[in-house]
Amino acid sequence: MMSRSASVEDANLPLLEDCASAVRSKDGQDDDDDQDQDLARRVWIESKKLWHIVGPAIFSRLASYSMLIITQAFAGHLGDLELAAISIANNVVVGFDFGLLLGMASALETLCGQAFGAKKYHMLGVYMQRSWIVLFMCCVLLLPLYLFASPVLKLLGQPSEVAELSGRVTMWMIPLHFSFALQFPLTRFLQSQLKTAVTAWVSLVALVVHVILSWLFVYRLQLGVVGIAVTLNFSWWVLVFGLLSYAVCGGCPLTWTGFSTEAFSDLWDFVKLSAASGVMLCLENWYYRILILMTGNLPNAEIAVDALSICMAINGWEMMIPLAFFAATGVRVANELGAGNGKGARFATIVSVVTSVIIGLFFWLLIMIFHNEFALIFSSSKPVLQEVNKLSVLLAFTIFLNSVQPVLSGVAVGSGWQSYVAYINLGCYYLIGVPLGFFMGWFFHQGVMGIWAGMIFGGTAVQTLILAIITIRCDWEKEAEKATRHLMKWAADTK
């Protein structure tokens, strides 16, 4: 797969002023390259380029994910059953759906980036419309998952009372399900042009709306768990319409030229590319959903699910930072490889990994210090708080590992290694992590701690180690040559 391009108009995107000389130096001979400068100066320059992408990306991801966290927090203060139901609905049903559609939309990261780099600006809008069509069809196919959530959850071993309430909640989340088909392509359409600030501002507006509506529906109108689900639908569509309005109403004059019948051509090839691009992300996203399902089959499952869902909510909240580094690292590595600068790609990788690890260590320390307090955000139940306290050590180590793994995955995306990482994810997560978690949880009677420890140290840690070895052993100059050949072939095919 071709590396991701991040070329943009100098007038609109100041970041590319830093990359312009590299783009013009196709042979990799850049006389003014950062390589000749002292290390501190090079780190500063690379950090500025990185944070130009990371800053708005972190904010938008945190704002969007906070809507899910606020939903769980309101449910937790309604009762343990409500918290378990919302947690299962969000982490299993919506989570499965979210991972698949997000993965399929990731095809645009390559297509839109390469089209913009080749100055085929109108094709960005065409590609986004194709993605809307494909994802909408996928939403229709996935609709039975929402309609029959209760029997499916019972079949998977969830307690009857929790499964019934979760099924009722997911029925009210069908509008949220269809919003993903529009939002994910829109986000990647804007990201390919480095218009991340727009996404951040719209996400802030949606978050404020969600907080106000959650308080109104739950405490004033007393709509209970159904009211919580309705607020999430409404707030997410505010996000979708905000991004859509910007994209089609003048915010992207070069890349959006209106609806086109070209969007209906080559749909089957687009479906295949979307499916292939989504495998890597889906395998990773579903991994932790399996953890929630396995915990639901334990004795006293309601307390175990509540405690684990709180830990996963905190982990997912912090995970928005590494995921922003994932996106930014992919852009920076693709920029340098596309310019034929293998050493620049290697240096961008080092700066990104080190920065993310420092942030991960900071949050690891916070969890260790406040292990008795952070669960109060979600629940006042003493059994749940005690269970969360026991799991806090595993949460801290999960956060630390996740400060490294997504960044290395971003390197893979920028370098075009997605298919290799998909196999690595399959082997580490599902052939090592899940079986080890199962054995530690049931055969060694370690409960939720055993399941989680097995999946983290048997799956995530091994996967991170393999990705680190691949990255360290990478021949960056060879990757730069390969990226240049891909770009030249793509340009020839579009003539």
What integer pLDDT is reported at residue 180 of this predicted model? 92
Tell me which residue of 434, 436, 431, 313 sits closest to 379, measured CA to CA: 313
What integer pLDDT is reported at residue 27 of this predicted model? 42
459 lies in a domain?
yes
Q: In residues, how long is the chain?
A: 495
442 lies in a domain?
yes
481 lies in a domain?
yes
What integer pLDDT is reported at residue 206 of this predicted model? 92
486 lies in a domain?
yes
Total of domains in the chain:
1
Cα atoms found within 13 Å of the Cα of residue 249, Cβ hemisphere only: 6
Q: Which tokens hold the place of 118?
A: 């080749």
Express each pLDDT in 352-405 by its tens digit: 889 988 998 999 998 888 877 777 777 777 888 888 888 888 888 888 888 888
Q: Which tokens hold the place of 489?
A: 């072939």
Q: How far apart are CA 315 and CA 391, in angstroms?
A: 12
23 lies in a domain?
no
Which range of 162-171, 329-338, 352-361 scores highest in mean pLDDT? It is: 352-361
Q: How far apart are CA 23 and CA 366, in angstroms?
A: 42
Q: List b or e across 5-32, with b for residues whose CB sees 16 or more CB atoms inside 10 angstroms.
A: bbbbeeeebebbeebeebbebeebebee
* Residue scoring higher pLDDT (142 or 375): 142
User: Residue 38: which region, alpha, beta or left (left: phi > 0; alpha: psi -120 to 50)?
Assistant: beta
Q: Are 473 and 312 in contact (CB under 8 A)?
A: no
Average pLDDT over residues 215-224: 82
What integer pLDDT is reported at residue 472 of this predicted model? 86
The residue written with tokens 């899940």 in the block is 434
Cα atoms found within 13 Å of the Cα of residue 46, Cβ hemisphere only: 29
> Quick check: pTM over 0.75?
no
What integer pLDDT is reported at residue 335 of this predicted model? 67
Q: How far apart are CA 65 and CA 62, in angstroms?
A: 5
Express each pLDDT in 228-282 by its tens digit: 888 888 999 999 999 999 998 888 888 888 888 877 877 777 777 777 667 777 7
Q: Which tokens hold the place of 267?
A: 């749909």
Instruction: Please list, in sequence order, all residues whose beta carbon lies within 8 angstroms of the beta carbon of residue 114, skipping any fewer than 6 positions away.
Output: 2, 4, 5, 487, 490
Tell me which residue of 191, 9, 199 sits closest to 109, measured CA to CA: 191
What integer pLDDT is reported at residue 7 of this predicted model? 37
191 lies in a domain?
yes
361 lies in a domain?
yes
Express each pLDDT in 68-84 by its tens digit: 778 877 887 777 777 77
Q: Which tokens hold the place of 237?
A: 């569509």
Name the residue range of residue 77's domain. Answer: 45-493
Average pLDDT over residues 341-354: 85
Q: Residue 491 is inside which H or E element, if any? A: helix 476-493
Q: How far apart are CA 192 and CA 114, in angstroms?
A: 9
293 lies in a domain?
yes
Other C-beta atoms lying within 10 Å of the C-beta of residue 60 = 28
Express each pLDDT in 14-62 by its tens digit: 333 333 343 344 444 444 444 445 888 888 888 888 888 788 888 888 8
Average pLDDT over residues 413-430: 76
Q: Are 307 and 295 in contact (CB under 8 A)?
A: no
* DSSP reduced 3-state for 266: coil
